[in-house]
Chain A
Amino acid sequence: MNIHKLITDIEKVDPEVYERLDSRRSAVSQFAKIGGKLALAAVPLALGGMFKKAYGQGNSTIVGVLNFALTLEYLEAEFYTRGAAAPALVPVGTPAVGAINTIRDHENQHVNFLKTAISSLGGTAVAKPTFDFTARGTFPTVFTNYDVFLAVAQTFEDTGVRAYKGQAGALISNNDVLTAALQIHSVEARHASHIRQMRQARNTGISIKPWITGKDTGGIGSNVQASYDGEEITTQAGVNILSFVSASAASESFDEPLSRSAVETIVAPFIV
């Protein structure tokens, strides 16, 4: 591979290739450092990453991802806003009130943040859909039965974590957007952990950990199985995690992504 020729060729169609690549210079100089066969094998991969960073996805792709995220945040924000306001749902005088309010506020902050980000990229934020939190009758008591409310909350949070994770690669060309998306992603994981602890504290006889074991729904059942399918894997980047820890720990120690289409299928019943 002749990198010099490659860059010169690109320059013929893009005179600004050097400026684009300039911010990636540490990656380029890395090639010179690594020697031998390993380097030869690594160069195409690393070059691919470098050009992806330099050219990457256009703003339209990024705006598309952010609008996808915004739809999920609209869903969560309205869910918690309505749940917090529903009479006799969240037990009055318990720490649950503060927790639900905290999560509600974060989801509304995410909505506003994403709207601002989209417009600053020159995009147009999608409008808030009309939601049906019974999921067309699957959860008819979602705002009257606290356990059902928490079960739906857990599903939204765990699904949200997987949704952001699945989009990280599509944001790799924009450092600021990627970082913000990661910052939202881990907040959703904090929420998921706490909602799971709230469900565990209900003492329903089902063991619910702050993390996802296998593809277990935590007793919610087949209605939400699609949000957990795929979480059970125990091999990461070709490394068998079962060599180090139990099957439970191996699946728990890595959360798995979901594709945009898988997430859209999961949330479709909640959107009118």
Chain B
Amino acid sequence: MKRNSSGISSAEQTPDASVIHRRKFLASLGLGVTAAAVLASCDKDDDNDNQAPAGFIDLGRGDVGILNYAFALEQLEAAFYTRVIASQYSGITPAEVALLTDIRDHEVAHREFFKTALGSNAIPGLEVNFAAIDFSSRTSVLNTAKAFEDLGVSAYNGAGKLIQSADYLLLAGKIVSVEARHAAYIRDLLSNGTFADNTAVDMNGLDLVKAPPAVLDVAKSFLVSKLWAGNLPTS
């Protein structure tokens, strides 16, 4: 059905405020009264959602969309650390191997968790583009890791308010603090003491926060697959 309120007949257009409110509300959903009846029966699809451009992967809407958004970021991180461990940079220490392997495993756990939880609603596996990363260089690898971890923290912090379900909000909370632990460790590997410096934490002691479009804008340079967030909630 198209976005309109044509289902409201002129006879219904009384000045009663509550009716106007109801009409406005339903119209804002792209639904007239007839549409609401269809909605009530829950047996028909609504085709007025936004369509992803050709070649783009639609993350979806509502909580499913947010979970797919997280799934996409975890895919990116898991792929990155898998490469880091498979082709270790020169001069890597045994302690770094151990903890970077831990991080790889955490990101794999996150990725597989989302994939399993989303089931048939999951977006496909993403194709990554790590051409800009020199996996033999400690500086290149750790700077990329820092960017990914800070991005992950900012993404989960920004996604919290977009989540409807308290259960999913808690799950995001369980993951984001682990990403923050990673971020602090990676930052300290690059420069000890930068775990929460003023590039990550503001004057109120608050961490990074980014909305999905800003996060995806950073992520896209590491992805061949194209993600589309046009159906994600924005508030």
| A residues lining the B interface (CB < 8 Å) | 1-5, 7-8, 11, 15-19, 21-33, 35, 39-40, 43, 45-46, 49-50, 52-53, 95, 98-99, 102-103, 105-110, 112-113, 161, 164-165, 168-169, 172, 175, 178-180, 182-194, 197, 209-211, 236-237, 239, 241, 243-246, 248-250, 252-257
Chain A residues within 8 Å of B170, by CB: 165, 168-169, 257
A209 touches B99 (CB 8 A): yes
Q: DSSP class of A's interface residues: helix, strand, loop or mixed?
A: helix
Chain B residues within 8 Å of A244, by CB: 108-109, 112-113
Chain A residues within 8 Å of B11, by CB: none
Minimum distance in angstroms from B170 CB to a CB of chain A? 6
A1 touches B184 (CB 8 A): no
**Which chain A residue shows the least CB distance to B116?**
A239
B173 touches A190 (CB 8 A): no
A25 touches B205 (CB 8 A): no
A49 touches B166 (CB 8 A): yes
Minimum distance in angstroms from A66 CB to a CB of chain B? 14
28 CB contacts below 8 A, A to B, read A3-B39, A11-B22, A15-B18, A15-B21, A24-B164, A25-B29, A49-B63, A49-B164, A52-B164, A98-B193, A165-B174, A178-B160, A178-B161, A182-B209, A184-B205, A184-B206, A187-B206, A189-B176, A190-B184, A190-B195, A190-B201, A193-B181, A197-B185, A249-B108, A249-B109, A253-B105, A255-B177, A256-B174
Q: DSSP class of B's interface residues: helix, strand, loop or mixed?
A: helix
Chain B residues within 8 Å of A172, by CB: 163, 166, 169
A182 touches B156 (CB 8 A): yes
In the assembled complex, B132 has its CB within 8 A of some CB on chain A: no
A187 touches B181 (CB 8 A): no
Within 8 Å by CB of A239, from B117, B166, B175, B209, lies B117
Given the known inter-chain contacts A190-B195, A190-B196, A197-B188, please indicate yes or no for A252 contacting B102, CB distance below 8 A.
Answer: yes
Q: Complex: how many Å from CA A164 to CA B170?
A: 10
| B residues lining the A interface (CB < 8 Å) | 17-18, 21-22, 24-25, 28-31, 33, 35-40, 42-46, 48-49, 61-63, 99, 102, 105-110, 112-113, 116-117, 153, 156-158, 160-161, 163-167, 169-171, 173-185, 188, 192-193, 195-197, 200-201, 203-209, 233-235
Interface centre among B63, B156, B205, B207 (most CB of A within 10 A): B205
Given the known inter-chain contacts A50-B164, A193-B184, please indicate yes or no for A35 contacting B173, CB distance below 8 A.
Answer: no
Q: Complex: how many Å from CA A60 to CA B228?
A: 39
Minimum distance in angstroms from A74 CB to a CB of chain B? 14
Q: Complex: how many Å from CA A148 to CA B110?
A: 34
A189 touches B184 (CB 8 A): yes
Chain B residues within 8 Å of A39, by CB: 42
A192 touches B61 (CB 8 A): no
B109 touches A22 (CB 8 A): no
Minimum distance in angstroms from A107 CB to a CB of chain B? 7
**Which chain B residue shows the least CB distance to A183?**
B206
**Which chain B residue shows the least CB distance to A194?**
B195
A236 touches B113 (CB 8 A): yes
Minimum distance in angstroms from B229 CB to a CB of chain A? 12
Interface centre among B62, B160, B169 (most CB of A within 10 A): B62
Within 8 Å by CB of B181, from A11, A17, A210, lies A210
B25 touches A25 (CB 8 A): yes
